[in-house]
Structure 1
Amino acid sequence: MEIALVGNPNTGKTSLFNHLTGSYEYVGNWSGVTVEKKVGVFKGKDARLIDLPGVYTLNPISKDEGVVTNFFLQESFDTLLNILDASQLKRNLHLTIQLHEYGAPMVIGLNMIDVAKMRGIDIDVEKLSALLETPIAPVVARTGKGCDYLAEMVTEDVQLKSQSPLVDYGEVIEGAIQRLTQRLSGKTNKPVRWLGLQLFEGNPYIHSYLQGIIDEREILTFIQSVRSELKNSGVADSLEQYIYKKRNEKIEKIIATVTSNRHAKKAPLSERIDRIVTNKFLGIPVFLLLLYFMFMLTFDWLGFPLSDALEDFISGPLTASIAAFLSAVGVSEFIRALILEGIVAGVGGVLVFVPQIFILFFFISLLEDSGYMARVAMVMDRLMEWIGLNGKAFIPMMIGFGCNVPGIMAARTIETPKERLLTVLLTPMMSCSARLPVYALFVGMFFLQYKAVVVLSLYVLGILIAFILAKLFSKTIFKGETSLFVIELPPYRLPHIRSLWRSTWDKGKGFIKKAGTFIFAGSVVIWLLSYAGPGGADVNMDDSFLAIIGGVLAPIFEPLGFGTWQAGASLLTGFLAKEAIISTMNIIYFVPDEASLQGLLATAYTPLAAYSFMVFILLYIPCLATVATIYKETQSKKWTGFSMSYAFIIAYLLALIIYQGGKLIGLS
């Protein structure tokens, strides 16, 4: 049994999906979390649930919304599960009516009943079910309340209560639908009424679908004739506006019948908080203050002590135990050196930053689930509009703070191709979590008293560079109109600890998985390159293949303050994964029982060179996975190559200005 889960953005669709299937998908309290369909199996039932992207209408205006229309046109399913936000019923019902027009069996999950009651809204569920001719189950997806009953209802053999249309669109539209029904008789298995209404609304996917059945000229003539007939009748000038008006009239009658409003005792909490966090003067300072608090927590108050404790364990008892075990089993010196100097040093050097990564992700998850991130997008809209984008483009960038790959994929929610492409190209400027170990290492060595301030400056720098480039690109290679910014501000919610932990773990486990696979394999290769050279095996590291490779790149970075072969080799492996920079440095600077990595780095870098190095890491070529995602989203070698080239140039020029400018004013 195939069940399609459909609803507006931010109605709790993904939370409901997680409760019904027992799986875990990314949950964020903003629109655009699901950018492609996801499939799960109902707990204890022989049925699959397909989670489709959140849409306000079946007439798509962005790439991810097109996934839904294509699903209805190309896929088969048994039942529709439409989730509604009880506190925003009027807006949600526009999609419900379109789903009803599709004519498939449908069940409604009426979510956020608790939020509606808190706002003084009471809904007569039985009356609503009768008027919509659809079974309805009240639920609170965030806590799972009512989800089991909904699962039982939707996995039964749901029957259509009635084939009668919910909305009468008048003589002109209904007559046109009848003519289209006759024309398409026997030529499609899709509901013609739905096809006709979507065609009249201007749905490009429906237009393309019908082109495969009847001639393009006939379609255009048919639409024009309906439009002229509607205008001549004096009813309306626009097909789209007329259809919307008729649906809205029906919805208002339903709302008036099924809802009653109690007077709220005081303004909702969301409104009171928004007076501060969305204030045009206070909004950005509040955002920066929250970032500063996040970095103090990550790099000072909690993160560093935990990372130091983990580093002491890995470099002390764990390494000693592994060394004792290797001696006991009598392995060769080659294997012993490979494991201790390569794998343990490389992988362990990355894993020591796990506490800081998880603290950062926990804080990001808290901001996401609470509903604050949508406010950040709204606060940034005025600035984003000035640079040629809109506030919605800031959401993929914020996601990019965790990882650039899902951030780039989230750009699918942006309506216009120009803004979507620009967002894809600029999101890698955001400082992802993979860069965090590099920052932690260097600020812990060179900026001990100002760790949070220095890291905050790097994050803000990435945002500023992205904004400057957006302004430049939108005035040159990406000329065109910007779209209107429309975003729903969800109510603030206190995230459940379980949901918060799962969200944090889902983000952080990728870091651990990468350390146990990709970084593990990379550490072996890097150590082998450092172990062997033209002169044979077990050579001095300065005479190794790794030193030769890094030495080729070293002169390029000399003006930036880090013109050593060690830095060159680290930056090269950093293209594969930014975490590999740390594993490479741990292997290169590995000196057993003599000095820590930070102590050795102090002799190779100055504070000015260290900051220049971190800025270069922030901006230079994105990692391999990000580059692959850019190509997947743009389907263009030209734009993928452009993203790599301009990033390297910007990183080089800015690091050059920082280092050489710092030297001119006497910094070291």
Structure 2
Amino acid sequence: MEIKAALTGNPNCGKTTLFNALTGSKQRVGNWPGVTVEKKEGTYKNDPSILIQDLPGIYSLSPYSLEEVVARSYLVQEHPDVILDVVDTSNLERNLYLTTQLLELDIPVVVGLNMMDIVEDKIDLKKLARWLNAPVVEVSALKKQGLESLMKQVKNESAKKEQKPFLFSRSIEDAIGSIQRLLPETKQTRWYALKVLENDSRILEELSLSKTDQQKITKLREAIENEFDDDIESILTAQRYDFIEKLIQDCVKRKRTKHAMSVSDRIDSIVTNRFLALPIFVLIMYGIYTIAMGSTPFSIGTIGTDWANDVLFGETIPGMMGSVIQYFHINPILASLLKDGIVAGVGATLGFVPQILVLFVFLSILEDCGYMARVAFIMDRLFRKFGLSGKSFIPLLVATGCGVPGIMASRTIEQDRDRKLTIMTTGFIPCGAKMPIIGLFAGAIFGNSSLVATSAFVIGIAAVVVSGIMLKKFKAFAGEPAPFVMELPAYHFPSLSNVLHSTWERGFSFIKRAGTLILLSSIVLWFLQSFGFVNGAFAFVDDNNNSLLALLGRSLAWIFYPLGWVGDMAWKATVATFTGLIAKEEVVNTFGVLYNFGGELSEAGNEIWTLVAADFSAITAYSFMLFNLLCAPCFAAMGAIKREMNNAKWTWISIGYMCVFAYSISLIVYQLGGLLLHEVPFNFFTVVALVLLVGILYLLFRKGYSEDKSNISVKDFSLNKVRS
């Protein structure tokens, strides 16, 4: 018989690490029905009869965020056989608040005390189990210790129904018992009684109690509120914390003095320092990009990419393909498709996989060791000064891997205006698909400069901040940002399996797109650049300047003349930009096809780099790179915007804003930057660039929309209660 175990816990408590350790490769990832919150489930690798459902990380069962709604709905409606509650022992008081709520459900609970190896305090597990009236098991998800004992308790508890501990005062416990007897037979649980006592409108609507029963409950509620001179929700919250405080006093023996600082505290005193935090973050990112995409002897990402381009896609695969073509006497047109379309196009993109994987490895290490949670705290402090929600940083952080889940992550933001603003700006962050664009121009034009790669990341953040300031001045986005509550986990050594798993998920997504979408588009691009009209006849062309692709590009290239895309490169840059809407990797793929027509890539893509360098100056290359990093994202991300906005008008507003903003910034950089570098003469578009710059500065510093406080609804002030 299958046992369903619900894995719950606070964010950053080690729940994901534990889930991966318990399930191994026997897990499935999808979305919860009707929402885009990630759903993970898998079977215990040592006992397939135990199905583990990984619930979103939450701080409580109060429905403040979408994650909390999903978790509560699953526990109440699906009623799993057992709840496996993961508790971060280094922050026991905070984590036990959720535990007290889980104990109110009519479901057996097993408590897993995680991170015990970094805790200096001594915890009496037997006493703790008696207080909670639930089994407590010491585990280390990172070191994979105590897992068998934990799952043994899960299996044992799944068949039990134990009496829950008394968390509240006698008068409240008596009221809970009285309410339980008034409820329908199938709903006579402690949890439903508490929700009724709290006057939860959704639960009351579901139960459809008689008027007489409602009056009895109202009298019970009023009696308690009169006794404690407070509202019922505050009373219950306070008594939960009273229970936790007494539990801690009895079960925990402190080893540190009250004012002693832990190792994590000492590190945080530096990395989250008001003045040092941002410089440290920038230096760390610079170091990562140097190792992943720089030109130093220890830039292992670049070394791997050079090998992929020089050997794998420069000699080995083209050589094998040439031998196959020669051996089977393949038709010249089909041979061109194989060599100049598929190998050159897909190879130009896959050549950057080593750099991308190295980047993802380091980002995964930062996430797993706990530093990225500090970055969220640091950026929250900065973002709120600019009117942005601190919660916006989570989608932006996710977007460094892929813009699609980054946009989806915006659902954690409760306030509609903050959520829309985050969706509109998340696409500015350089995702994994944009890395090949940065790598191409950093190598071809800027000598593999780490500063170019780092500047792309900094510009993405700056675009978010500038957009936040400007858009917050408009009525649709005006108002105070939502509060941001996040647990800062203790620092720990990252798990190798977690880092590799995270890197593989992100990297495989990139490789899969190269093998499907990019392969298909490479074939289409090859056809468009290989055929055209010569002397009035449609035929295979030797010069791609006569191709259908050139015809299409030239008809649209005039749009980008003010950005410096002129001459023979204009149509190529235009085509690459539009194919980038299919997938951002397509920009490099397109150049791979166009610049490698009739030949093969030799060393490190040097033939492409030479031709690109001949067409682009430093200022035009930077203008092109900026536009493609900031403009509308790929079709998949546009689809995510449409799903999250759930409104066609706001979808087009979002895409339109990104395109206009990207064009404006690229125009300013090319026209004014080129003027300062004496590469661009003063012209009409120089004046346009100056006007745009003045306009942006005006929007940044002008007084914003002021709400009429007398007409603000209660909903506008519905801030999350700080649960700490």
Q: What interval of TM-score do these two structures reach, taking the shorter chain for normalisation?
A: over 0.9
Residue type at the aligned position of 1:568: T
Matched residue of 1:657: which SS? helix
Distance in 2 between residues matched to 1:286 and 1:26, nearest whole Å: 37
Q: How well do the aligned residues superpose, as a CA RMSD in angstroms?
A: 2.5
Letter in 1 for 2:641: I
Corresponding residue of 1:567: 573
Opposite residue 274 of structure 2, the aligned amino acid is K
How many residues align? The count is 651
Determine the structure 2 residue equivalent to 1:603. 614
Question: 1:15-69: CA deviations, max 9, x gaps?
Answer: 1111111138899xxxxxx943311111132121100011111002212221111
Counterparts of residues 411-422 of structure 1 (less than 5 Å): 411-422=410-421
1:120-159 maps to which residues of 2 (within 5 A)?
120-156=120-156, 158-159=158-159
Q: Does 1:259 align with 2:262?
A: no
Q: Indicate conservation of the 8 Å contact 1:397/1:427, yes or no.
A: yes
Contact 2:196 2:203 in 1 (8 A): no
* 1:440 paired residue number: 439
Of 2, 5, 8, the match for 1:3: 5
User: Secondary structure of 1:65's match?
Assistant: helix
C-alpha distance in 2 between matches for 1:71 and 1:447? 53
SS of the residue corresponding to residue 122 of structure 2 reads strand
CA distance, structure 2, for counterparts of residue 653 and residue 25 of structure 1: 46
- The counterpart of 2:633, out of the listed 618, 622, 634, is 622
Distance in 2 separating the partners of 1:623 and 1:224: 55
CA contact (8 A) 2:183 2:209 kept: no
Q: 1:293 to 1:25 in 2, by over 3 A?
A: farther
Q: Is the 8 A contact 2:529 2:549 kept in 1?
A: yes
Letter matched to residue 195 of structure 1: Y
Amino acid aligned to 2:638: V
What is aligned with 2:713?
none
Over 3 Å counting, the alpha-carbon distance change for 1:468 and 1:24 in structure 2 is farther
- Shift in CA distance, 127/62, structure 1 to aligned 2, threshold 3 Å: same
Is 2:274 aligned against 1:280? yes
Aligned AA for 1:542? N
> 1:658 Cα deviation (Å)?
0.8
- 2:525 maps to which residue? 526
Paired with 1:547 and 1:224, the residues of 2 have a C-alpha distance of 76
CA shift, 1:101, in A, is 0.9
CA contact (8 A) 2:344 2:600 kept: no
| Corresponding residue of 2:232 | 239
Contact 2:472–2:478 at 8 Å: present in 1 too?
Answer: yes
In structure 1, the partner of 2:485 is 486
User: Partner letter of residue 587 of structure 1?
Assistant: V
Q: Distance in 2 between matches of 1:318 and 1:362?
A: 27
Quick check: 293-302 or 358-367, which moved more? 293-302
1:30 maps to none
Residues 314, 600 of structure 2: 8 Å contact kept: no
Residue 28 of structure 2 contacts residue 42 of structure 2 at CA under 8 Å; is this kept in 1?
no
Does residue 1:656 correspond to 2:667, yes or no? yes
Query: Counterparts of 2:210 and 2:317 in 1: how far apart (Å)?
Result: 71
Contact 2:631 2:662 in 1 (8 A): yes
2:290 corresponds in structure 1 to 296
Tell me the CA shift for residue 309 of structure 1.
1.9
User: C-alpha distance in 2, partners of 1:549/1:198?
Assistant: 63
Contact 2:125–2:136 at 8 Å: present in 1 too?
Answer: yes
Equivalent residue number for residue 361 of structure 2: 362
Q: TM-score, normalised by structure 1?
A: 0.92
User: What TM-score do you get using the length of structure 2 for normalisation?
Assistant: 0.85
CA distance 1:470–1:225, change in 2 (3 Å): farther
CA distance 1:71–1:512, change in 2 (3 Å) = same
1:107-166 residue CA offsets vs partner (Å, 9 max, x unmatched): 2212111122xxx21111122112211122211011111112212321346343632443
Letter in 2 for 1:308: D
Give the conservation status (yes or no) of the 8 Å contact 2:184–2:207: no
Describe the SS at the equivalent of 1:429. coil
* Aligned counterparts of 2:538 and 2:378: Cα–Cα separation in 1: 60
Gaps of 5+ in 2: 30-35, 680-724
Contact residue 26 and residue 42 of structure 2 kept, 8 A: no
Shift of 1:100: 1.2
Q: 1:164 to 1:155 in 2, by over 3 A?
A: closer
Q: Write out aligned runs for 1:378-527 (5 A).
A: 378-448=377-447, 451-476=449-474, 477-527=476-526
What do the CA deviations read for 1:599-621 (whole angstroms, capped 9, x no partner)? Answer: 11122211110000000011000
Say if 1:20 and 1:148, in contact at 8 Å, map to a contact too. Answer: no
| 1:75 to partner: Cα distance | 1.8
Asked whether the 8 Å contact 2:131–2:165 carries over to 1, the reply is no
Cα-to-partner distance string for 1:558-587 (whole Å, 9 max, x where unaligned): 110124111111111100100011111111
C-alpha distance in structure 2 between counterparts of 1:94 and 1:482, whole Å: 26
Q: Is the 8 A contact 1:14 1:26 kept in 2?
A: no
Query: What is the SS of the residue equivalent to 2:49?
Result: coil
Q: Residue 87 of structure 1: CA displacement?
A: 1.9
Change in CA separation of 1:521 and 1:223 when aligned onto 2, cut-off 3 Å: farther
In the alignment, is residue 634 of structure 1 matched against residue 645 of structure 2? yes
What CA distance in whole angstroms lies between the structure 1 residues aligned with 2:644 and 2:195? 27
Contact 1:575 1:621 in 2 (8 A): yes
Confirm whether residue 587 of structure 1 aligns to residue 586 of structure 2.
no
Contact 1:37/1:67, CA 8 A, preserved across alignment: no
Structure 2: distance between partners of 1:77 and 1:248: 26
Which letter maps to 1:307?
T
| Shift of residue 104, structure 1, vs aligned partner | 0.8
Conserved 8 A contact 2:27-2:41: no
242-251 or 658-667, which deviates more: 658-667
